Structure 1
Amino acid sequence: MSIIAQLSTSLGRRDEVPNQELAAQIAKTNNKKAVGELVENLSNKNKDIQHDCIKTLYETGSLKPALILPYFDDFIRLLGSKNNRLQWGAMAALDQVAMEDTGATFRSIPVLAAAADSGSVITRDHFVSILIKLCGVKAHAADAFALLNEQLRNCPANQLPMYAENALPVINESNKAAFTQALTARLNDFEKESKRKRVEKVLKKMK
């Protein structure tokens, strides 16, 4: 059975389970040909097929990032897509491969940042995740943290608690003060008390 025939849409399914199972099988068998077929069909005339392909690709990347790394530039190009599902799916894929080639990821930050600014919440979520990963790479840590802190200062309040919590592992003596200042400045931005308390909990860990 062809790879496309195994996608949710081809099977008449409305859920993502077939795509996830296919991704697991591709990763397990290191099926490079299947990955290539999925990438080719990101431009399929059927948008549902496109969406299933990008889903299967980033799910494959979550299990074996090296398998989708050769298509890094294809994912970068998709960040400019008018199809929101393809755009944030591409950012999800880039998030999965960020640590496979940190140099290429870092060089792509201007494009990633532009997509995060104009894209959906999910696009921004994955961009912030990429920045956090780069903060853990010595060669890029300072620049990546500066960009991460900018996101903390300007992101939607709803997203801030998650970003702050996820960033904790890369906070150290050199960036703790800036991180604390960014979060403290936003404590009055929350409509929900629960969100503010999550940020306050992060701040307590900084003391």
Structure 2
Amino acid sequence: MTVISRLATSLGRRDEVPNQDLAIEIAANADDKAVAELVENLSHRSKDVRHDCMKVLYEIGERNPSLIASYADQFAALLDSKDNRMQWGAMTALNTIVHENPEIAFAAIPQLAAVAGKGSVITRDNFVAILIKLSGIPAYADQALSLLNEQMLSCPSNQLPMYAENALPVIGGVQKATFVKTLTSRLGDFEKESKRKRVEKVLKRLG
């Protein structure tokens, strides 16, 4: 039985359980051949097959990122896809392998930023997550932190508390004052007091 025959769409299923189960199995077995088959079919004529392959790949990446890290170029190439699902799926996949292949994630930042600027909440969430991971790598920290601060200035207020909390471990040194200023400037943006309090808690921890 091929990997493609086990995808949700091949089984006539509308849920994601077969794709998730397949990803768990491939990740646990470190099945390189299965990964290669999935990547090859990211250009399948069937949109549903393409989508399922991408879903399985980023689910694998969450569990065993080294298995898909060598395909970073292929994911980066899909950032320009006109298919929104493939576009944010590629960004999600890249997010899982930043630590395995940071140079490609960093090189793709202009594309990532463009996609995040016009994409869905999921797309922006993954872009910010990528920036946070790159901010923790000394070679990329300065530029990534600057871009991360820009995201916190412009992102929807609903997302800001999560971004600020997730970024806390990488904010330090000379950049700390910049983030304090940014977060303080946005304290009046929240409709829900609970979200404002989350940002205030981050500010307190930043000192």
Superposition TM-score, scaled by structure 2 size: 0.95
Equivalents in 2 of 1:137, 1:119: separation in Å? 26
**Other-structure match for 1:96:** 96
Q: List structure 1 runs of 4+ shifted beyond 6 angstroms.
A: none
**Cα-to-partner distance string for 1:126-168 (whole Å, 9 max, x where unaligned):** 1110110011111111111001001000111111111001001
**Other-structure match for 2:76:** 76
Equivalents in 2 of 1:148, 1:179: separation in Å? 9
Show structure 2 runs of 5+ residues with no match. none
SS in 2 for 1:79: helix
| Alignment of 1:169 onto 2:169 | yes
**Other-structure match for 2:122:** 122
Q: How far 1:23 moved relative to its partner?
A: 0.8
Q: How far 1:177 moved relative to its partner?
A: 0.7
Show structure 1 runs of 5+ residues with no match. none
SS in 2 for 1:175: helix
Question: Is contact 2:30-2:67 (8 Å) kept?
Answer: yes
Letter in 2 for 1:10: S
**Other-structure match for 1:137:** 137
Equivalents in 2 of 1:111, 1:22: separation in Å? 30
- Over the aligned positions, Cα root-mean-square deviation in angstroms equals 1.2
Q: How far 1:191 moved relative to its partner?
A: 2.0
Equivalents in 2 of 1:14, 1:194: separation in Å? 36
**Cα-to-partner distance string for 1:6-35 (whole Å, 9 max, x where unaligned):** 111112222211111111111122211111
Q: Judge which range, 156-165 or 108-117, deviates more.
A: 108-117
Q: Judge which range, 37-46 or 178-187, deviates more.
A: 37-46
Q: Judge which range, 179-188 or 109-118, deviates more.
A: 109-118
Equivalents in 1 of 2:123, 2:72: separation in Å? 16
Equivalents in 1 of 2:8, 2:196: separation in Å? 40
SS in 1 for 2:56: helix
| Alignment of 1:58 onto 2:58 | yes
**Other-structure match for 2:10:** 10
Aligned length: 207
Question: Is contact 2:73-2:104 (8 Å) kept?
Answer: no
Equivalents in 2 of 1:11, 1:193: separation in Å? 46
Q: How far 1:52 moved relative to its partner?
A: 0.9
Which is helix-richer, 1 or 2? Answer: 2
**Cα-to-partner distance string for 1:36-58 (whole Å, 9 max, x where unaligned):** 11112222222221111111000
Letter in 2 for 1:204: K
Q: Judge which range, 51-60 or 74-83, deviates more.
A: 74-83
**Other-structure match for 1:49:** 49
**Other-structure match for 2:20:** 20
| Percent identity over paired residues | 62
Equivalents in 2 of 1:185, 1:80: separation in Å? 34
